[in-house]
Amino acid sequence: MKKILLRFVLLILSAIVVIKAFHFDTDNSTLNIFAERYFNEDYYLEHYPEVKALDITPFEHYVTIGWKENKNPSASFDNEFYVNMYLLQNKYSLNPLADYFRSNMSFKKRYTKPGQLKKTILLESPKYYLSLVAIFQNEARFLKEWIEFYRMIGVEHFYLYNHLSTDNYQEVLEPYIEAGIVDLMYVTERPKSLPEWNKIQVGAYSKTAREVSDITEWLVVVDTDEFLFPVNGRSLADALKEYDEYASLSVNWKIFGSSGVEHIAENELMIERLQGSNPKPDSHVKTIVKPRYVVAYENPHYPVLKDGYAQINENFEYFWRGAVPAETRHKFRINHYWARDLEFYRLRKMNRVHIKASGTQEEIDSKMAALYKRNEELSAQHDDSILKYVEELSARMGY
């Protein structure tokens, strides 16, 4: 009887430890008791023999130092891959093995090496190889240049959502609608906050991804102030061929300010006039996807993909979320003309919901002053990377 009682007590204590690890422990100490089962000491010492000379065990080295140096704990566990996939936002500061155990306890599936992920299969006869979805509001002045730019680099069809525009967008889009190049939809909800606006965006993206899943091979998901293009060569469609085995390609952006330009005239290109960009590091991305592998959009920067698929950067490195692990714009880039000219910035951008969502007039004035200052800062670095397209785009625009 005593033995049975002792076993019962030990079982309860073990359960308490596991529950503590699963629910409450936000450091590595308790979790490491269980995480060590995934560690291969022989492998670690063979590949990192310098650890032998240290006054700590190989496992202690990994959980305190080694994982931060991207050392692998075993042949079946790619440390850098795991960090990029699951720990770019590591709120508990867990080492990968501790996080892996914690995830297993909560029945969350985790992949530990790139080879476990699936490659895609091309559509047999898609209507389009490359399409684009975007949502816009009162941007008629810049729409034609944006559409002609993307047509120039290989986008065949556009799924555009008008959100309560009051300018002459219909006049600009009518020739493209008649030619079957643009499908125009309408969104009428009025958001009261930035989260509400994001919900509208991702709803439009998710809807389009579902509806075109068997129609288009790739779907570009960007805003109408974002110009995505290949760094080498001219055709985005051609450059994407190299990535056809993957479900999702995320491209690093660079933000451009107004460059001190008050007004871009009707016979001028925005991409030629605005050459002042943000000098500070920025790892944010937007994503080109194969819509048949998309579950839904919950964030405008990247989709939730079907199990077994993951987004990559231009270097074929898997990661997850809205920012690359490190800036990379050697093959693709997005010029994000966040402010456009000063006239647009003042009359349009500053009146959007995320600027004037709430607060006293004094608070709103303070926020706007800070944003004017930011616009100046985002124009500080000269960047002419997109100018290779100016001549052809000017001809398309009739300038």
Q: In 3-state terms, what secondary structure has residue 258? A: coil
pLDDT at 285: 98
Closest CA to 378 of 343, 319, 336, 334: 336
CA distances for 49 relative to 37, 45, 57, 71, 315, angstroms: 21, 5, 12, 12, 30
Pairing status of strand 311-312 against strand 318-319: antiparallel
Say how far residue 213 (Cα) sits from the centre of its chain.
20
| DSSP code, position 344 | H
Q: What angle do CA 225, 226, 230 make, to 5 degrees?
A: 150
All residues at 6 or more sequence positions from 241 whose CB lies less than 8 Å from its CB, including other chains: none
Q: Note whether 337 and 141 are within 8 A (CB).
A: no
* pLDDT (tens digit per residue) in 187-233: 999 999 889 999 999 999 999 999 999 999 999 999 999 999 999 99
pLDDT at 349: 84
- Global confidence as pTM: 0.90
pLDDT higher than threshold 70 for residue 14 = no
Q: Is 62 exposed, middle or buried (0-12, 13-18, 19+ CB in 10 A)?
A: buried
Closest CA to 105 of 33, 40, 11, 39: 33
Q: Is 227 exposed, middle or buried (0-12, 13-18, 19+ CB in 10 A)?
A: buried
Neighbours of 180 (CB within 10 A): 8
CA dist., res. 77 & res. 72, Å (int):
6
CA dist., res. 37 & res. 301, Å (int):
36
pLDDT higher than threshold 90 for residue 357 = no
* pLDDT (tens digit per residue) in 247-302: 999 999 999 999 999 999 999 999 999 999 999 999 999 999 999 999 999 999 99
**Structural domains present in the chain:** 2-112 (no CATH), 128-397 (3.90.550)
CA dist., res. 248 & res. 250, Å (int):
7
The HSE-up count of residue 254 (CA atoms within 13 Å, CB side) is 25
Mean pLDDT lowest for which of 9-13, 65-69, 164-168, 361-365? 9-13
* pLDDT (tens digit per residue) in 116-166: 999 999 999 999 999 999 999 999 999 999 999 999 999 999 999 999 999
H/E segment holding residue 17: helix 2-19
Q: How far separated are the first and last CA of the chain, in Å rounded?
A: 94
